[in-house]
Structure 1
Amino acid sequence: MSLRKRNSQLSSHTPSQGAANDSADAGNDGGYNAGIAVFSYIVGGIIVWSLIGWGLDNLWGTRWIVLLGALLGAAGGFYLSHMHGLTRQSSSSGESNADSGPSTDGDSNAK
């Protein structure tokens, strides 16, 4: 590529266009990032609490606490995902739910 052609390409790209493109790209993968976070919470919880259950099984001579630990870890992962606002539908305003913080609905949805 010639130096003149490269300079014309660089000058045609204004900083405001770059910022707009960067923010648009960041908004497109918000669902993917939230999905990875949910997956990480659940799998991480299962692994950690299964290892704790396995240790307690070896200590106490039982064989069922590892299963209880896995179930507790999965439930904890779902709970953390919900509290961080990762399990809600995305809003129409383009705001990522991962950026909105913990869920604040409390008991207002109870019937």
Structure 2
Amino acid sequence: MATPEHDHGKSSPAPSSSGSSAGDAKDGNGGGYNAGIAVFSYIIGGIIVWSLIGWGLDYLWGTRWIVLLGALLGAAGGFYLSHMHGLTRQGTPSGGNKAGRGPSQDGAQ
């Protein structure tokens, strides 16, 4: 029984070390993907929610056009939210090149 525990202990560090390097690669390149998924979910979520609200108002008032207005309002609202959360900006990532933004803060010249 001591042998399986010992083998399990040896195999455990190897996947975690390769998992952390794979996780580091995902963290470095996954920011754009995660931001894209967030923008997509804001827009689709806005369309769904405001379309349902429009559909309910259409049902109550006997109209047929408020659902379309709700979908457009939801798409615009989703894009607005994603823009306000900074997901649609195309700037340098944090830690990027900040040369030309002023003198260094450490006093060195």
Q: Secondary structure at the match of 1:29?
A: helix
**How far did residue 19 of structure 1 move?**
6.2
Alignment partner, residue 63 of structure 2? 62
Asked if the contact 1:45/1:70 (under 8 Å) is kept, the reply is yes
Unaligned runs of 5+ in 2: 97-109
- How many aligned residue pairs are there? 87
In the TM superposition, residue 42 of structure 1 has moved relative to its aligned partner by: 0.1
Q: Which residue of 2 aligns with 1:76?
A: 77
Letter in 1 for 2:63: T
Q: Which moved more, 1:77-86 or 1:22-31?
A: 22-31
* TM-score, scaled relative to structure 2: 0.65
2-structure distance, mates of 1:18, 1:66: 47
Equivalent residues of 1:27, 1:94 under 8 A apart:
no
Looking at structure 1, the residues matched to 93 and 59 of structure 2 have their Cα atoms a distance apart, in angstroms, of 51
Structure 1: segments with no counterpart, 5+ residues? 96-111
TM-score normalised to structure 1 length: 0.64
How many Å separate the matches in 1 of 2:91 and 2:26? 16
Give the number of the structure whose alpha-carbon radius of gyration is greater: 2
Corresponding position: 1:91 with 2:92: yes
CA contact (8 A) 1:50 1:69 kept: yes
Give 4+ residue runs of structure 1 displaced > 4 Å after superposition: 17-21, 92-95
**What's the % identity of the aligned pairs?**
74
Q: Distance in 2 between matches of 1:40 and 1:24?
A: 24
How far apart are the structure 2 equivalents of 1:37 and 1:92? 17
Amino acid corresponding to residue 41 of structure 1 in structure 2: Y
Give 1:27 deviation, angstroms: 1.8
